[in-house]
Amino acid sequence: MPGLGDIRGHVRRGLKLKPSTPSGRDKHRVGGGGSDLFVEVGSIDEREGNVNKPAVAKNKVEKDNPIDNWKYQNTELYNSFNSSVTLFVGDNKVPFVAHTRMLRKNSPFFHAACKREWLRKDRSVQLPEDDPDAVNTMLYWVYHNRLGVPERMFHRDTPVGVDATMESAPGLLAKVYVLAEKYQMVALMNDTIEALIFWHREHLKNGKIPAKVIQYVFETIPDPEKFAFPQFINYLVDLQYEAADFMKAKEDLPFEFLFQYCAQWTVLKSQSRVAAQARNPNPPQVPSQHRATNHPQVPSHPKGAPIHILVSNNLGPQGKELKRYLMIPENDNE
C-alpha cells in the first residue's frame, strides 16, 4: 500500500479556506456558491480584475507585459459570452451554461466536443451519465482554478462514518475525481486528491471513508490500481477501518476489495505465527482437558445440502491458512 508521501507525490497544489465572494466573473457562472464557504484548492490568482473593462485592441498588447496579456485574456473571455454551450446533465437534464473557451482550455474531451462540426444546432452537449453536483463543482474549478465544496461537508464537527452516503465530502470528491478522469482533466484530479487529504486531516477522530464511496470508486474507475485516488482510499482504509467496520459495511464493499483485505489478514497472521514460533520454538502444551473438542458445524443450505466454500489450492501456505480459518477440510479441491 502506498503511504501518504507516495500519494502526495502525484499532486501539485496547496489548500486554502476562504469565503466565496461575488465578483464580476461570478455573475456569469452557473450553479454552486451562494453564501456558503468553500474549500478552495489550488493557487489563487489575486488579480481578479474587472471583466467589464473596455476592450484592449490586440495589436496594442505588449507581448512582454504579463499584466496587459492577462487583461487581454479577460477581455477575450468577456467578448466570448455568445460563444457558450449548455450542458444537460443527468437523467433530469439539469442545464449548465458555460463558455466553450473555458471548457476547451481545461479538457481535451470538451476541446473536441465543442467544435462546430460536433455541436448541435442548439449548442448543447448531452451528459446523461454524469452527476449534476459533480459537474457543478467541475465548472467552479474551470472558472476559478480551485475546487469549491460547501464548507458544511468539510467542517471538522461533521462526523462521517462507514455507513455514510455519497452525499458526504468523500462522496462528492469521488464523483468529481471520476468526472475528471473521464474528461482527461489531470489538474482537477490532483486537486481532488489534495482535498481528500485535507478532509482526512480535519476528521482524524470522527471521519472514515464510507463503504459506498469505496464501492463507487472501485466499480467506476477502470484499473483502479493505476490511479492515485483509489490508492489513497486504500491507504485511508488501512488507517481507519477496524474489524467491526468491515462487518458493518460488508454488504456495500466490493467482493474483490474484501478478498484483498482477507488475503492480507491471512498473510499477516501467518507471518505473526512464524515470528512467534521463532521466538518460542517449544511452547508449553495445553492440557487435554482444556482443549476444545466441539467444533462448529459446517453451515447448511435451507434444503439440507452442506455449503462448500471453495478456496483455490494454488494459494500456497496462505490458502491453507485461509482454509483453516474458514474451517474447510484440507481435501476440498477447487
pLDDT, tens digit (0-9, with 9 covering 90-100), for 187-205? 999 999 999 988 888 888 8
Cell 485511508 locates to 236
Q: What share of the chain is helix, strand, coil (3-state, %, to 5)?
A: 50, 10, 45
Least confident of 49-63, 210-224, 231-245: 49-63
DSSP string covering 26-74: GGG--SS-TT-EEEEES---S----TTSPP--GGG--TT-HHHHHHHHH
Q: Would you identify the CATH topology of the domain 4-44+80-249?
A: Potassium Channel Kv1.1; Chain A (3.30.710)
Percent of the chain predicted with pLDDT > 90 = 18
- Confidence (pTM): 0.58
- Residue 183 contacts residue 142 (beta carbons within 8 Å): no
CA distance linking residue 230 with residue 227, whole number of Å: 6
Q: Could you give the 3-state DSSP secondary structure of residue 99? A: strand
> CB-based contacts of 79: which residues, under 8 Å, 6+ apart?
55
Averaged over 269-286, what is the pLDDT?
A: 62
Distance in Å from the first CA to the final CA of the chain: 29
Q: Residue 330's pLDDT is what?
A: 56
* 235 — pLDDT class (breaks 50, 70, 90): confident
> CB-based contacts of 189: which residues, under 8 Å, 6+ apart?
177, 180, 181, 227, 228, 229
Q: Residue 130's pLDDT is what?
A: 93
Q: Residue 178's pLDDT is what?
A: 93
The per-residue pLDDT of the chain, averaged, comes to 68
Strand order in the sheet with 94-99: 94-99, 84-89, 124-127
Domain extents for the chain? 4-44+80-249, 258-275+307-334
pLDDT value at 273 more than 90? no
